[in-house]
Chain A
């Protein structure tokens, strides 16, 4: 009995020592496997920089080829007024064919064809058409083309509408003058009561036309974007999804391949026969990868701060969010590592989990605009919860309930179950 109790006490005494042993081993392995170290530190910097420059930097001029069959001063004005476009003019009867070929050869991103009679139609106040050619095998260009051209042609369209609006105003004013004279004459002459009424109505209508706002003609209802967190720029809000996605990707990869490595080197057999335990092993991994997550976050945070992002940081929420994210991702990585047969399979499973989550995270497309089923899936994905937690910690505060930590606790139990089966 005494011997048994002594052994139980000894086992408890050994636990922290083996825990530190596991931690030291992970730390040394990370430094010995330099590629892992570089990957885990370089990736936040690379992704952070791409994000900052992608959304914050100005675009270089877009190469565009133009076939201007109308070739009037009006068309040249249109093309000249378009900013960001690096325009090359095509010529000859085969211009449209050449334009399409050069797009296929990827020499230009867009091709513009202005048909004959374009200016004449505009002069006659009729709708005129510009054809925009693009490589529709490129999904990103497809979604860009309409938006980019609407944006580019907007000043020209506005100018046209303003010109027409001014003309309407002008002519309404002239007509109103004439109806005013007619009304005065009718007053002097007397009688003609019906005519006076009609003239008054026309005069009133002309008065409305005279006061017309040209902006009303081009865009009768304007939409004013009012972000509820007006103080946040795209840089500030970007760190939350970026960190959550990056952490998911890196920790799943590092942790799952680490578990495969441990299985290959027979570490599990060693743990089983030793005085240590699998619980200690899993916890040490969780602590180690939490530390890696903190470093990754620090790298991203510094990078975004250097580029001018400012945060209303809540330290308690940040600790909670980082802990939740790293624990969930570490345990998921361990489970993947235990269910995979090789490093290759582990990496594949990590990618299979990460990529769909990335699309369902709302980072590229609002989740609320997705179909019901996809929204349902997205709602139960932890990545979205993680992004929200990071936003709370960095931007708008709030509460991260401790109930959330039931999830990593459950994942810990599942990891322990699977590791026991190996």
Chain B
């Protein structure tokens, strides 16, 4: 009996080494993290495949950056759970990770070349290899500045791009970017998205956090919506719409509402799972599940003698869905 068990165990081990299971490049299991007794991440699990851009979105303080810090190895303690990059733990996985922190973290008193050489050396790159890799990345990022220039001479957008260049000199398989679009104009954001798409096409896994929801919706393959430290929704926009039961938004202008009207509308919305997403003066925005639901709602308004003017009925954007998450 014991011999049989040993034999099967050996067989299993040999098989494991000869035919290793293809691992997800990024895998995080049951991550819990608290700060000042406040639970930031609760049993948060996450996986990512190669050639994917995954945007992690959520309100400020929901734990997006914390999660990226744990994933990248920047946060080394104080959390529970398991993180693996290409099957390796945080110490051995470092050469596979490229992390761009939220704040620009270049050495301001060194010129671009010295910055590139220094950050390359952190990954064991020689001077020539660092410069070669740096030039290549600068070209993709359209960072057309001399290597002898000082970071102080660069514009905000150029600094962000240089910050990204020095983070990816070692050509990591997993690229993690913490809110890289902050303070960037449309041109620079487009440039960065194209860079990330280029990396995706080179079989890289890209994980970013962002508040640019509409752009994330267009450019990323997956959106992970964080809410109260948990994954609220994971997938494309339509998956989130399904999860939130919000397939359309109805925009209208309403005449003055008395107390009774307000009470009736609120009751109707609760009974029929309609949410008021936004309200400013006479402008109101509701989330509805279908065109039929909208028609019933309008009939209800007419029946109650509430004056309105319909100004829009369309599919929601991620930003608008985000408003719904807030009310969940």
Q: Which residues of A contact B (CB under 8 A)?
A: 1, 3-4, 7-8, 10-11, 13-14, 17-18, 20-22, 24-25, 28-29, 32-33, 265-267, 269-276, 420
Contact = CB atoms under 8 A, between A and B. Distances in A.
B126 interface: yes
Greatest chain B CB density within 10 A among A8, A18, A33 is at A18
A188 B106 CA distance: 116
Contact of B117 (A24, A273, A274): A24
A268 to B, nearest CB: 9
A265 B124 contact: no
What are the 6 tightest A-B residue pairs by CB atom distance, in nearest-first order? A21-B121, A266-B105, A14-B124, A274-B122, A273-B99, A276-B122
25 contacts: A3-B88, A13-B124, A14-B124, A17-B124, A17-B126, A18-B121, A20-B121, A21-B117, A21-B120, A24-B121, A28-B110, A28-B114, A29-B107, A32-B109, A265-B108, A269-B101, A270-B105, A272-B74, A273-B74, A273-B97, A273-B99, A274-B94, A274-B122, A275-B123, A276-B122
A163 to B, nearest CB: 74
B80 interface: no
A266 B88 contact: no
A379 to B, nearest CB: 39
A10 B105 contact: no
A266 B101 contact: yes
Contacts of B17: 1
B193 interface: no
Nearest to B94: A275
Contacts of A24: 114, 117-118, 121
B209 to A, nearest CB: 15
Prevailing SS type, chain B contact patch: loop
Interface residues of B, number: 33
Contacts of B316: none
B72 interface: yes
A318 B111 CA distance: 37
Contacts of A32: 109-110
Interface in B62-100: 69, 72-74, 76, 88, 92, 94-95, 97, 99
B95 A7 contact: yes
A267 B122 CA distance: 11
B71 to A, nearest CB: 10
A283 B261 CA distance: 73
A146 B190 CA distance: 81
Interface in B114-135: 114, 117-126
A270 B125 CA distance: 15
Contacts of B101: 266, 269-270
A13 B126 CA distance: 12
